[in-house]
Structure formats: structure tokens, C-alpha cells
Amino acid sequence: MKKLQMVDLRSQYLNIKTEIDHGIQEVIDSCAFINGPAVQAFQKSLELYLGAKHVIPCANGTDALQVAMMALNLKPGDEVITTSFTFIATAEVIALLQLRPVLVDVDPGTFNIDLKAIERAITPKTKAIVPVHLFGQTAPMEEIMEMAKKHNLFVIEDNCQAIGSDYIFTDGTKKKAGTIGHIGCTSFFPSKNLGCYGDGGAIFTNDDDLAKQMRVVVNHGMTVRYYHDYVGVNSRLDSIQAAILNVKLARLDAYAAKRRTAADFYDKAFANHPRLKTPVRYAKSTHVFHQYTLITENVDRKALIDYLASKEIPAMIYYPVPLHMQKAYLDPRYKPGDFPVTEHLCETVFSLPMHTELDHDQLTYITSHVLEFLNR
């Protein structure tokens, strides 16, 4: 059996090696390292894939979120609502821009932002909502957009974990995750569902004015060459990464299908187990399984993870600490107990290997050892 990893990038590479190597070599031969044809091609292909009017490539997912927020012209102290159960980058850029991260709890089933909690957190200072499509499912965007419209708020989707996921509206229409709010952000970090071989990211929008402004922001706030009308940043996707992404974007839906097959296997093996709760599938979103995350009940989670490690099965905790209990984000407004769902999840969840190359033998090996630990 092949060695188990949370994400097996090497086996995936070996299956697409010819095309990847050719793409990289082409960039080196052309020496168009910055903003070369591979970047233009990727931008167009991603716009087409997503059905988004504008894709703006940038250096990573954190930059994508920062640039999105810089384009909204917010003032220090303006409030931005986001979830307490996410990767730190979401709140980090809010804090960096001297805006106020206002955290809210999540839904215990989908792990995504709790609609009622958003409504309660809105104040006259609220300017934006940043839903995170956690672990591969889209947050309840239809309701979030209605709420945003009512209160005149921007919506920036943190789509770093759900690229390719479809959101299904009440009337049956579908949109890709990241294209429903005013702006969507994604990351091409190697382990993401659409990952490159280094750092990369992109911003999506259907709004011409926001697109224009964000293109200026990612390029040093430059409107005309060497004329800088805004304080911007330097955030680019390099051509070699774009060449890799061109190969992988063509396979994104096939990759999502492989992840779903692995998730179905896990679901079936753990179905109705009294001490494990398999991931809830939200009816209004397809799931692209960035992570396969289980909730344990009355399980010594550390002992379970140690046992799996002794069998060479990696398992991870996404995320062990709620945002409001992170040292850098301690805030007198928040105390332990404020976000009970997030806090419970941080104490009880664990994630199993999830990637495009998991085979039947590996899945059997993983599930049988998890069950063996629980049933002994």
C-alpha cells in the first residue's frame, strides 16, 4: 500500500507529469515569468469555469482577501463580520487594515457561518460580511445576500476551500462558490483543491468598478505607469504557477469527483456509529471535500490520533483554537463560552486524509483502524 498522507501531491503529479513539465518548460523557454501568456490563459479559463466576469490573479489567498477589503474603501473601526471557526487569514487581514473583526458562531452541522448570529451582530458600523465556505461547502449565500442587501453591506466570500462547489438557489439556478457575493477570494496553496506548486491566489467579481479598483490595488496602486493614485500592494501570480494551474483546472471537476468518492467511502464506513458524526451535506451546495472532518462524541481524541499515527495514518485537527481564543486576537468583548458551537467543534473534530489519489486499499485501511480504536 502507498504511504498515507493528508494530501498526496506527489502521486497526483506523477499522473499529470508530462503536461506539467511541458507547461513549466514552456514558461522557462519564453522567459515570460511575470504576467506571461500562461497567466492570461489561466485568468480567461478560470473566468469561463466560474462564470465570473472578472478574475484577478494574485500572490496568495490572504492577499486576495486583503486586496478585496482594500478596494471597498472602508474606514478604521468599520466592522466586518466573519466566523469564529476558520483559518486565521480571514480575520488577520481585517485586523491588519485596522478594521474590526466581529466574530460569530457557526452552524453545528455544516460548520459554516450561522445566519441568525450574523443578524444579531449587525450594527450601524457594520460594512461587510465575510462568509467562509469551510471544508468544501458553500455557506448559505442566498440568505446572506438578502441580509446584506437589507443592511447595505458588502459580501466577500472566502472561497479558499470550496473552489468548484456549486450553490443552488431556491429557484433552482446554480452559481459557483465565490461568484455570488460582491467579491470572491481563493488560494492556490499546494494542498488546496486547486493548488499550484508554490503560492498563488485569485479574486473574482462581476462588478466592473470593483474589478478595476482591485487591478490597481494589486499593482502598487498604479493607474498609469509610474503614477500611483492609491497605496497598493505587489501581489502577482507568477507564470510558472499559472502554467501548472492551467493543467489542473482542466481536471478540477474530476478531482472533486474523486474526493467525493473517498468521502462516500468514509460516510458508509462510519454511518450510524454512536461516537462519530459524519459531515452533514448541505442541500443547497455541492461538497468538494477540501477536508473530511468528523465530530467525535465521548472519544479521547488525542489517543485516537496517536493510535492512528502508530499505524502511519495521519489525522489533523482543523482547527484546534477558536479565533476569539487566539492570543493575538484576544478582545475584551469576547470570552470563552461566547461561541459554544465553535468551541465544541475545536474540542471534538478531526480530519482524515482527503485527496485525489486515495485508493480502495488505503480507505479500507484507514476506516478499519479508526473503527478498531473506537470499538476496542
Ligand X SMILES: *Cc1c(COP(=O)(O)O)cnc(C)c1O
The answer to the question of residue 12 lying near ligand X (CB under 6 A) is: no
Q: How far is CA 306 from CA 291, 315, 346, 362, in A?
A: 20, 9, 17, 18
State the minimum distance, in angstroms, from the CB of residue 25 to ligand X: 25
CB closer to ligand X out of 79 and 158: 158
Among residues 277, 287, 356, 263, which one has the least CA distance to residue 5? 356
Partners of 191 in the β-ladder: none
- From candidates 23, 36, 57, 61, binder to ligand X by CB under 6 A: 61
Among 41-49, 72-80, 154-162, 337-345, which window interacts with ligand X (CB under 6 A)?
154-162
- What region, left, alpha or beta, does residue 77 occupy, with left being phi > 0 and alpha being psi -120 to 50 degrees? left
Among 74-82, 155-163, 205-213, 238-246, which window interacts with ligand X (CB under 6 A)?
155-163
Among 60-68, 142-150, 271-279, 321-329, which window interacts with ligand X (CB under 6 A)?
60-68
- From candidates 136, 201, 232, 353, binder to ligand X by CB under 6 A: 201
CB closer to ligand X out of 304 and 323: 323
Among residues 127, 115, 118, 114, which one has the least CA distance to residue 79? 127
The answer to the question of residue 87 lying near ligand X (CB under 6 A) is: yes
The answer to the question of residue 83 lying near ligand X (CB under 6 A) is: no
Q: What angle do CA 182, 59, 351 make, to 5 degrees?
A: 80
Q: What angle do CA 106, 172, 202 make, to 5 degrees?
A: 60
The answer to the question of residue 92 lying near ligand X (CB under 6 A) is: no
Whether 71 and 210 have beta carbons less than 8 Å apart is answered as yes
The answer to the question of residue 160 lying near ligand X (CB under 6 A) is: yes
Among 12-20, 59-67, 293-301, 305-313, which window interacts with ligand X (CB under 6 A)?
59-67
Residue nearest to ligand X (CB): 61
The answer to the question of residue 356 lying near ligand X (CB under 6 A) is: no
State the minimum distance, in angstroms, from the CB of residue 84 to ligand X: 13
For the stretch 69-76, contacts whose Cβ atoms lie closer than 8 Å and that sit 24 or more positions apart, written own/partner, are 69/93, 69/94, 69/97, 69/99, 69/128, 69/156, 70/97, 70/217, 70/232, 70/233, 71/183, 71/210, 71/213, 71/214, 71/217, 72/127, 72/128, 72/154, 74/99, 74/127, 74/128
CB closer to ligand X out of 263 and 370: 263
Whether 138 and 255 have beta carbons less than 8 Å apart is answered as no
CA distance 154 to 129: 6
Looking from the CA of 154 toward its CB, the CA atoms found within 13 Å total 23
- From candidates 12, 66, 83, 90, binder to ligand X by CB under 6 A: 90
CB closer to ligand X out of 38 and 113: 113
State the minimum distance, in angstroms, from the CB of residue 298 to ligand X: 29
- From candidates 13, 33, 49, 189, binder to ligand X by CB under 6 A: 189
CA distance 181 to 52: 11
State the minimum distance, in angstroms, from the CB of residue 170 to ligand X: 26
State the minimum distance, in angstroms, from the CB of residue 349 to ligand X: 15
CB closer to ligand X out of 5 and 187: 187
Among residues 297, 308, 299, which one has the least CA distance to residue 367? 308
- From candidates 158, 238, 343, 357, binder to ligand X by CB under 6 A: 158
CB closer to ligand X out of 342 and 362: 342
State the minimum distance, in angstroms, from the CB of residue 33 to ligand X: 20
Interacting residues toward ligand X by CB under 6 A: 60-62, 86-87, 89-90, 132, 158, 160-161, 187, 189, 199, 201
